[in-house]
Chains A and B, each alone.
Chain A
C-alpha cells in the first residue's frame, strides 16, 4: 500500500503546485507562438486569397507542392527549422523549471512561493541539465544494447532485411520495462540536488542509484504506473491531434482550448511523477 500512498501524496503535491505549472504552460506556449505565428503569416502569404488552402483540410495534400513551388519549400523549411529550435528551447525551458518543481516537492510539498520557485529553478539549472544529458546518454546506451545490437545481428543474419517478428516485439517490451529504472534514477538524482542544495551531478546520480536500490519495487512501481498513465494519455493526445478536423472558426477555437487542457494535464502528470518520486525517495 506504500505505492498507493506515494502516488496519492504525489498527486496532492502536484496539485498544490498548480501555479508553477500554469507558469510553465504559459511560458512554453508563448515560446511556441513566436514560431507558429510567423508560420501562419507565411502560410497566408503563400496562399493569398486562394481557396487552394482548402486542400489542406484533410491533411497536407502533397500535390500542392507543384503548384506553390519554392515558397512552399521555404515554408516547410521554416517549419522544420523552427520546430527543431523549439524542441531545443523547450528542452532547456523544461529543464529550467524542473529545478523549481523538484525544490518545491522536495522541500515544501508543492507549496513553494513563485519567487522561490524561479530562484530554485535558476539555482538548479546547470546540475539538472547535466543529469538530464547523462540520463539521455544512459537511455541511448540502453537502447543500443537492448534493441540496436539484436537488430543489427538479425539484419546481418538475414542479409540486410529489417528485423521483424515476435522476437523484436519481445525486445521492445523489455526496453519499455527498463525505462522506468532510468527515469527514477534521474528523478531521484534531481530530488537529491534540490534537497541538499548541492550542484554535483555525478554524486546526485549516485544518490539516485542508491535510492533505486534501497526501495527498488516502490521506486520502480511508482514510475512504471505513472508512465503507463502517461503513455495512454500521449496516445490519446496524438489520436486527438490527427483525427480532429475542425471546420469552422468556433470549432477551431474549441480544438485549441481542448488541446491546451490536454497539454496542462500532461504537465500535471509529469509533475505527479516528480512529486511521487520525491515522496518515494524521501
Chain B
C-alpha cells in the first residue's frame, strides 16, 4: 500500500500537467485513469489494475463517488439493458460482467464494503450498472480522490458495442469509470451532484474528458488498436506482448484486438489516421479514408479544429458487426465496408457519422443520456451535409440511373413517414422515448429541424453558430439551452431582429413541442374581370369595354393553408402564364392565406418553399399546385415502363 501512495504522489504532477499528445490541456481533466490490463482471449476476460482519480472542482465537500459498471448490463436478463429486449447471451459463456476485486483509497483504506449498486433512472433492483461508493471522508473542494482498483471484466457475446466473437475482441465500457460530478449551473443544474446514469438499450454515454495511460498484455498474434496514441509495444517472450497507449482529453477509452486485422495508415495534415479491417474490409480502405478526410476537412473548416494528432477507425469483421457504428472520440467503428456496390454510400455514411461524433459529443461531451438530440441529432445533421456535399447533392446516398436518394432525404424520410412523429417532444431523455421512437426523434427529427433552421437563418449563419458553439463549449459539457443561447446570439448579431427577438419561438416548437409542419397550396383560380355593366339606379351602365384579347384582365387567387400546428415563415413562388414569377413571403401564422393578383396574365402554378428550405414540412407533395396536370415525368415514366417490359419479355423468352 505504501508503494501505491508513493506512486500516486509521483504520478500526480505527471498526470495533471503531463503533456504527451497535445501541447496544452484541452479540458479541465477532472478524471484520469492509469490501467494495466491483461487480456485472456480464451476466457475473454480482461484483468486490470487501475489507478483512477477524480478532482472535486465544486465548492462543497463530496462524500461519495459514482462509477459506471457498464459491463454488468450484460450480467443478467433482468438488467435495465437486457430488459429492453435487445440482448441475450450466446450460451452460458455469453454473459458479460465487471467485478471489483479490491478498492482502496490513497490512504490505503479498503472501500469494498462501502460499495453498493444504485439505479437512479428506473429503480431496477437487479441492475448493476451504476456503483456508489460512500467515502470514509468527504473529498474537499479542490482535493483529489485517488482510488486503486483491481477488477476483472468478462466481455459479452454477442457484441452490442462491446464484447467478443471468436477471437475478435472489442473492449469498450470495460473498466469502472467515474460518472460526471456536475456543479450547480452546469447544464442548467440547480445543485451540485453526480450525474451517473444506468446502461440503457437506447442510450449512449456521458463522461468527463480524461487522461488515460493504458497498458495491455496479450498474445503477440493479436493486432490491436485503440483510442489512445500508440506509445510502444514490447515483446514479453512466451508468445506475449505488451502494448502501451496514452490518451488525453477524451471521454472514453476503448480498444480492440484481433489476429485477423489488416492495418493501413494515412496522414491528414498533422493527424495520423489508422484503419483496421479484415482482409476483405481493407480493400475498401481508399473509400473509407476518403470519407474520413472529407469529414475532417468539412468539420475542421465549419466547426473547429480536430485537436488530436491521432485517429483510429475500425471496420469489424462480419462476426463482430455488433461493434460497428460506434464512437469513442479518437477511435470509432464503421461497418459494411466492401458489402455494398459503389452506388450505395452506406459504409461511407456510417464512417462520416461515427467520425462526426468526435465533435458531437467527443469534444462537446454533452449528456447523451438526457439530451440525445444534442449529439445524435446534430451529428446526423452534419453527416448529411458532408455526405451530400461530398458525394453529390440529391444523390449522396444512392445514385443509379433509375433511382437516387440524398442522405438528408433519407434522414427526413424517417421522420416524416413515421406514424409516431407527434408522440412526444424532442427533448426527452433517451430512455424515455415511447414506442421505439428514440432513433426517429433523436437522430432524424432533430437533424430535420436543424436543416430547417439552416434554411431559415442561412447556411453561412448556421456555420457561424457551430463555430461559436465550438468556441464557447468545446470540452465543457454544454446543454441544449446552451446551444440555443449560441443560436440566439449569433442570429441576433448577423440578422438583427429579422426573425424576432430571438429564435426561441423556433425551438419551442421543434424541440419542446410536438406539432408537425405542413403547408398546402389548396388551389389556384383565375377569373376574367368583367367590365362594369348592369342596371344601376335604373340606368344601364357599361364601362371600359375591351376589344382586344390582350386587354383582358384576370383576377388570380392562390389559396394556401396550414393544416399543421407548427408555424414557420415560408416563401411562396407563384408563376404566371406569361412566364413571369413572383416570390411572396408568408409568416405562416394564420390557418390560411390568399394571394390575389390582377393583371393580363393568369397565375398557373404556385410552390410553397420553392428552395426546399423547410425540411420539417411533412408533405412536400401538397406544397405545390399547377393548372397543367400533364406533367411530362408521369408520361415519360409510363412510356419507359412499357419499353422496359417489352425488352424484358423479349429477354426471358427463348
Q: Which residues of A contact B (CB under 8 A)?
A: 28-29, 32-33, 35-37, 39-40, 43-44, 46-69, 79, 83, 86-87, 90-91, 93-95, 98, 132, 135-136, 158, 160-161, 183, 186, 234, 237-238, 241-243, 245-249, 252, 255-256, 259-260, 262-263, 266-267, 270
Contact partners of A68 in chain B: CB under 8 A: 621
Q: Is B536 an interface residue (CB 8 A)?
A: no
Q: How far is the CA of A185 from the CA of B19 in the complex (A)?
A: 79
Given contacts A44-B629, A60-B404, whether A263 and B635 have CB atoms under 8 Å apart is no
| B502 nearest CB across to chain A (Å) | 31
Contact yes or no, A40 B634, CB < 8 A: yes
Query: Given the interface contacts A43-B637, A95-B653, does A61 sit within 8 Å of B409 by beta carbon?
Result: yes
Identify the B interface with A (CB < 8 A).
Answer: 280, 318, 338, 394, 398, 400-406, 409-410, 412-417, 605, 607, 618-627, 629-654
Cβ contact within 8 Å between B647 and A39: no
Choose among A79, A93, A186, A252 the residue that contacts B636 (Cβ–Cβ < 8 A).
A252
CB-defined A-B contacts under 8 Å, sample of 12: A32-B642, A32-B645, A36-B638, A43-B638, A50-B621, A50-B623, A59-B400, A59-B401, A61-B404, A237-B647, A246-B636, A249-B630
Write the nearest CB–CB distance from B279 to chain A, whole angstroms: 8
A249 and B626 contacting across the interface, CB-CB below 8 Å:
no
Bound-state CA distance A91–B404 (Å) is: 31
Q: Are B632 and A247 in contact (CB under 8 A)?
A: yes
By secondary structure, the A interface counts as: helix
Q: Are the C-beta atoms of A63 and B642 separated by less than 8 Å?
A: no
In the complex, the answer to whether A263 meets B647 with C-beta atoms within 8 Å is yes
B646 contacts A32, C-beta separation under 8 Å: yes
CB <8 Å contact, B635 and A62:
no
Q: Are A243 and B401 in contact (CB under 8 A)?
A: yes
B605 touches A61 (CB 8 A): no
Given contacts A61-B409, A63-B405, contact A249 B632 (CB under 8 A): yes
- A241/B638 in contact, CB under 8 A: no
| Complex contacts, A183 vs chain B, CB 8 Å | 654
Nearest 8 A/B pairs, CB to CB:
A63-B409, A90-B649, A66-B413, A51-B624, A94-B653, A62-B405, A242-B401, A259-B643
Query: What chain B residues lie within 8 Å of A95 (beta carbons)?
Result: 653
Contact of A53 among B405, B417, B634 (CB under 8 A): B634
Report whether B607 and A51 are in contact in the complex, using a CB–CB cutoff of 8 Å.
yes
Q: How far is the CA of A100 from the CA of B203 in the complex (A)?
A: 68
Chain A residues positioned under 8 Å from B622 (CB to CB): 50
Asked, given contacts A61-B405, A161-B280, A270-B650, whether A29 binds B634 with beta carbons under 8 Å apart, the answer is no
B620 and A67 within 8 A (CB): yes
Q: Which B residues touch A36, using CB under 8 A?
A: 638, 641-642, 645
Give chain B residues whose Cβ lies under 8 Å from the Cβ of A50: 621-626
A51, B646: Cβ atoms closer than 8 Å: no
What's the Cα separation between A101 and B477 when bound, in Å?
A: 79
Find A59's partner among B404, B627, B644 (CB 8 Å cutoff): B404
Q: Are A242 and B654 in contact (CB under 8 A)?
A: no
Measured between beta carbons, the chain B residues less than 8 angstroms from A55 are 633
Task: Report the number of A-B residue pairs with Cβ-Cβ less than 8 Å.
Answer: 185
Whether A90 contacts B653 by the Cβ 8 Å rule is yes
What separation, in Å, do the CA atoms of A274 and B621 have in the docked complex?
Answer: 50
With A44-B634, A252-B636, A259-B639 known as contacts, the answer to whether A66 contacts B412 (CB < 8 A) is: yes
Chain B residues near A44 (CB-CB < 8 A): 629, 634
Bound CA–CA A39/B634 (angstroms)? 10
In-complex Cβ contact of A64 among B607, B621, B629 (8 A): B621
Cβ of B607 and Cβ of A186 under 8 Å apart? Answer: no
Q: Could you tell me the distance between the alpha carbons of A158 and B623 in the complex, rounded to whole angstroms?
A: 52
Inter-chain contacts of A249 with B (CB < 8 A): 630, 632, 635
Q: A161-B280, A266-B650 are in contact. Are A33 and B417 (CB under 8 A)?
A: no
Indicate if the CB atoms of B630 and A255 lie closer than 8 Å.
no
A47 and B638 contact, Cβ closer than 8 Å, known pairs A62-B404, A69-B417, A243-B401? no
Tell me, in angstroms, the Cα distance from A70 to B626 when the chains sit together: 23
Given contacts A47-B631, A51-B626, A249-B632, A67 and B416 within 8 Å (CB-CB): yes
A52-B621, A83-B645 known; A252-B632 Cβ under 8 A: yes
Most buried by B among A37, A54, A238, A248: A54
* Residues on A with beta carbons closer than 8 Å to the beta carbon of B636: 245-246, 252, 255
B residues less than 8 Å from A33 (CB atoms): 642
Question: In the bound complex, do residue B650 and residue A263 qualify as a contact, i.e. CB atoms below 8 Å apart?
Answer: yes
A49 contact from B402, B627, B653, Cβ within 8 A: B627
Do residues A255 and B401 form an inter-chain contact, with CB atoms below 8 A? no
Q: Known contacts being A63-B413, A186-B654, is A52 close to B620, with CB within 8 Å?
A: yes
Task: Determine if B649 and A234 form an interchain contact, defined as CB atoms under 8 angstroms apart.
Answer: no
Q: Cβ of A54 and Cβ of B633 under 8 Å apart?
A: yes
**When the two chains form their complex, are residues A40 and B638 in contact, meaning their CB atoms are under 8 A apart?**
yes
What residues on B are CB-neighbors of A87 within 8 Å?
645, 648-649, 652
User: Which B residue's beta carbon lies closest to that of A259?
Assistant: B643
Bound-state Cα–Cα, A146 to B411, Å: 43
Q: Which of B416, B631, B632 touches A246 (beta carbons < 8 Å)?
A: B632
A248–B632 contact, CB under 8 A?
A: yes
Q: Are A62 and B629 interface neighbours, CB within 8 A?
A: no
Q: How far is the CB of B319 from chain A (nearest CB, A)?
A: 10
- Nearest residue (CB) in A for B625 is A49
Q: In the complex, A186→B653 CA distance in Å? A: 11
CB atoms of A65 and B417 under 8 A apart: yes
Q: Which residue of B lies closest to A42 (CB)?
A: B634
| A262, B412: Cα distance in complex, Å | 41
- B638: chain A residues at CB < 8 Å are 36-37, 39-40, 43
A79 CA to B649 CA, complexed, in Å: 15
Which residues of chain B are within 8 angstroms of A255 by Cβ–Cβ distance? 636, 639
Docked CA distance A260–B280 (Å): 45
Q: Is there contact, CB below 8 Å, between A52 and B404?
A: no
Q: Are A51 and B625 in contact (CB under 8 A)?
A: yes
Q: Which residues of B contact A237 (CB under 8 A)?
A: 643, 647
**Considering only CB atoms, which chain A residue lies closest to B606 in the complex?**
A51
Expressed in whole angstroms, the minimum distance between the Cβ of B607 and any Cβ of chain A is 6
CA distance A90 to B618 in the complex (A): 41
Partner of B402, one of A35, A242, A263: A242
Return chain B residues, CB-CB under 8 Å to A259: 639, 642-643, 646
* Complexed CA–CA distance, A263 and B416 (Å): 41
Question: Which of A66, A158, A242 is close to B416, meaning CB atoms less than 8 Å apart?
Answer: A66
B635 touches A238 (CB 8 A): no
Residues of B with C-beta under 8 A to A47: 621, 631, 634
- Give chain B residues whose Cβ lies under 8 Å from the Cβ of A161: 280, 338
Assembled-state Cα–Cα distance A50/B625 (Å):
5
Q: Which chain A positions have C-beta within 8 A of B630?
A: 249
B645:A86 contact, CB within 8 angstroms: yes
* Bound form: Cα–Cα A48–B622 in Å: 9
